[in-house]
Amino acid sequence: MGTILIAYASDYGSTEKMAKAAAVGVQDVEGMVALVKKAEDVTADDFVNSYGILFGSPVHMGSMDWRVKKLIDTVCSGLWMQNKLNGKVGGIFVSGGGFGGGGGGCEVTMLSMLNNFAELGLLIVPLPKMTADYKYGGLHWGPYGRSADIDMNHGGVSDEVLALTRRHGKHIARAAKAVKGADIFSE
Ligand SMILES: Cc1cc2nc3c(=O)[nH]c(=O)nc-3n(C[C@H](O)[C@H](O)[C@H](O)COP(=O)(O)O)c2cc1C
């Protein structure tokens, strides 16, 4: 069995729903299981014992949730010092309210998360445009769940975005199963 760690923060439930959808996608892949945890509960061993890592964050003031960043700056940075995450597979998803048509900072949030992932030596899995339901919340960086309508009434993320996030989880699990934590960066 290979494990994908899904670490997320969520105040109002949208990112949590996406985390659970991604977990179903992971488990669509034979031999792969998902470990779904709130960011503040994740341990160093959870990372070390996983073939792949998915981070989910709400967009907060155009950047990632502080609990996700705290996880990166505390637990992940220690593992970075020891080169323990190199070659694991990584992916991300976010949820935002979406002020205006442009996504209210979701894309810079995603890029800043992927910036951290590159620093950690993760093999980043994007979200290709041919993925079914991409038109409802796909960005090349990963799924984006918009939780408010154009008048900013909160309705939560759509079923289509959850289906898309499930596929993203499946892609990560497939990639992680193929790589199997191999030390691809060693000399
Ligand atoms: C402190 C705070 C800041 C926020 N900033 C943004 C923002 O910059 N852009 C945006 O699109 N949504 C913003 N939102 C809305 C949330 O990203 C959105 O409601 C999201 O779906 C919440 O996810 P959750 O249900 O998992 O908590 C903000 C919400 C909070 C509480």
21 near 167, Cβ under 8 Å? no
pLDDT band at 128 (very low <50, low <70, confident <90, very high): very high
Tens digit of pLDDT for each residue in 163-177? Answer: 999 999 999 999 999
Please report, for residues 17, 35, 51, the alpha-carbon distance to residue 31 in angstroms, rounded to integers and kept in the order given: 23, 13, 12
Strands 89-96, 63-64: pairing kind: unpaired
Closest CA to 142 of 111, 119, 115: 111
Secondary structure of residue 64 in the 3-state scheme: strand
Across the range 97-105, mean pLDDT stands at 85
Q: Of ligand 1's atoms, which has the minimum distance to the CA of residue 157?
A: 21
Pocket test for ligand 1, best of 36, 60, 144 (most atoms within 8 A of CB): 60
pLDDT band at 86 (very low <50, low <70, confident <90, very high): very high
In a domain, 187, yes or no: no
Residue reference for tokens 């993760």? 122
pLDDT band at 183 (very low <50, low <70, confident <90, very high): confident
2 near 32, Cβ under 8 Å? yes
Q: Which two tokens stand for residue 115?
A: 């910036």
Across the range 136-144, mean pLDDT stands at 96
Q: Which domain holds residue 106?
A: 2-179
pLDDT of 101 over the 80 cut: no
- Quote the CA–CA distance of 109 and 182 in Å, as a whole number: 29
pLDDT for 180 equals: 86
- Quote the CA–CA distance of 82 and 76 in Å, as a whole number: 10
Q: Of ligand 1's atoms, which has the minimum distance to the CA of residue 106?
A: 11
pLDDT for 187 equals: 79
Lowest pLDDT segment from 21-35, 101-115, 155-169: 101-115
Total of domains in the chain: 1
Could you tell me which residue, 182 or 133, shows the higher pLDDT? 133
In a domain, 185, yes or no: no
- Quote the CA–CA distance of 160 and 145 in Å, as a whole number: 9
pLDDT for 132 equals: 96
Q: Of ligand 1's atoms, which has the minimum distance to the CA of residue 59?
A: 17
In a domain, 69, yes or no: yes
pLDDT of 102 over the 80 cut: no
Report the CATH number at residue 161: 3.40.50.360
pLDDT band at 140 (very low <50, low <70, confident <90, very high): very high
Pocket test for ligand 1, best of 11, 36, 59 (most atoms within 8 A of CB): 59
Tens digit of pLDDT for each residue in 1-51? Answer: 899 999 999 999 999 999 999 999 999 999 999 999 999 999 999 999 999
Mean pLDDT taken over the chain: 96
